[in-house]
């Protein structure tokens, strides 16, 4: 089996695309799709073993892949890692700023250290990766950056630290799109909603009942797939998005539009199997999160 992308074969042939958080979840899926479309994918993450496992999967499918263990929160480490990538591959055509993480906690219980750790992972690390990819390669050659944020529109109860960081990344995306446009660089973001990804298994077991109920708050009445998120990322990296910059593409089944006074109507029989809304499962190695099984 191979990745079933909707995009043209060899769309990214000859390109080098960096994917942070490439050892699992959406990052792993996106790396597989980009490699299937001809890109040389460079996987970034803290866990070298996880990166190597995904690299082996991609190589088994005939894809080109490289890895670099890196804590994106550490400025000098990021600088050296990007320099090494440029030295090995010549340039960086694209960056997927996917690495992130958070934990469940009411605002009043979040410590300063915990808040700063989530902001460092979801905002500062993405800033450092984008700054170095731009400064060491894209400023001279152009490129495309896609920052992964989240469905934080309105609020993120029990995840205030993540909501603040993701909102900051949206603003950073918009600013970078303006400042770097003159260098031939596009900067956009993708905001996944409730996606059935391995990231759900990082939450404590007692969160499983809540996670299973979340799909009921989505008008399309289901979770999104990793492949549906990857497709949005790939589109924004592609030439078809050459006049799109400073934008956020939501992949959330219209969940932020839910309002009091409008009932969540049960879908008509067969409605969720209609071509326009049925799940796209292009990732041949996708697995259901244990929290949802």
Model pLDDT, residue 190 = 98
Query: What CA–CA distances, in Å, run from 41 to 21, 137, 276?
Result: 12, 16, 30
| 278 in a structural domain | no
Q: pLDDT tens digits, the chain, 293 residues: what are they? A: 799 999 999 999 999 999 999 999 999 999 999 999 999 999 999 999 999 999 999 999 999 999 999 999 999 999 999 999 999 999 999 999 999 888 889 999 999 999 999 999 999 999 999 999 999 999 999 999 999 999 999 889 999 999 999 999 999 999 999 999 999 999 999 999 999 987 777 777 777 888 888 888 899 999 999 999 999 999 999 999 999 999 999 999 999 998 878 888 888 888 888 888 989 999 999 988 877 87
pTM of the predicted model, to two decimals? 0.94
| 77 in a structural domain | yes
Split into its structural domains, the chain has a count of 1
| 162 in a structural domain | yes
| 206 in a structural domain | yes
| 261 in a structural domain | no
Query: What CA–CA distances, in Å, run from 77 to 28, 140, 166, 292?
Result: 22, 22, 23, 36
| 272 in a structural domain | no
| 10 in a structural domain | no
What are the pLDDT digits (tens) for 203-255? 777 778 888 888 888 999 999 999 999 999 999 999 999 999 999 999 999 99
Model pLDDT, residue 267 = 84
Q: 113 lies in which domain range?
A: 16-254+285-292
| 259 in a structural domain | no
The CATH number of the domain holding residue 149 is: 3.40.50.720
Query: What CA–CA distances, in Å, run from 289 to 30, 164, 201, 202?
Result: 17, 26, 6, 10
């Amino acid at each position: 089996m191979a990745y079933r992308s909707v995009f043209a074969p060899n769309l990214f042939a000859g390109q080098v695309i960096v994917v942070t958080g490439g050892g699992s979840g959406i990052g792993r899926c996106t790396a597989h799709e980009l490699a299937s479309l001809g890109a040389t994918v460079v996987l970034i993450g803290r866990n070298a073993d996880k990166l190597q496992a995904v690299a082996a999967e991609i190589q088994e499918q005939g894809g080109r892949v490289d890895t670099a263990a890196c804590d994106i929160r550490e400025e000098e480490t990021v600088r050296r890692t990007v320099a090494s990538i440029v030295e090995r591959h010549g340039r960086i055509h694209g960056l997927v700023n996917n690495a992130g993480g958070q934990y469940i906690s009411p605002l009043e219980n979040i410590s300063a250290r915990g808040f700063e750790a989530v902001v460092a992972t979801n905002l500062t690390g993405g800033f450092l990766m984008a700054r170095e990819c731009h400064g060491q390669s894209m400023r001279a050659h152009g490129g495309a950056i896609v920052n992964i944020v989240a469905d934080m529109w309105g609020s993120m109860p029990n995840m205030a630290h993540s909501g603040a960081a993701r909102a900051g990344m949206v603003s950073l995306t918009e600013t970078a799109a303006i400042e770097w446009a003159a260098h031939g660089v596009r900067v956009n973001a993708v905001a996944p909603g409730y996606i059935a990804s391995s990231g759900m298994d990082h939450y404590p077991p007692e969160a499983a009942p809540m996670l299973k109920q979340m799909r009921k708050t989505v008008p399309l009445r289901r979770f999104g797939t990793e492949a549906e998120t990857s497709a949005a990322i790939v589109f924004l990296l592609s030439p078809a998005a050459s006049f799109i910059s400073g934008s956020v593409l939501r992949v959330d089944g219209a969940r932020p539009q839910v309002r009091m006074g409008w009932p969540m109507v049960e879908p008509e029989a067969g409605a969720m199997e209609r071509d326009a809304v049925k799940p796209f499962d292009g990732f041949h190695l996708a697995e259901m999160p244990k929290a949802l099984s």
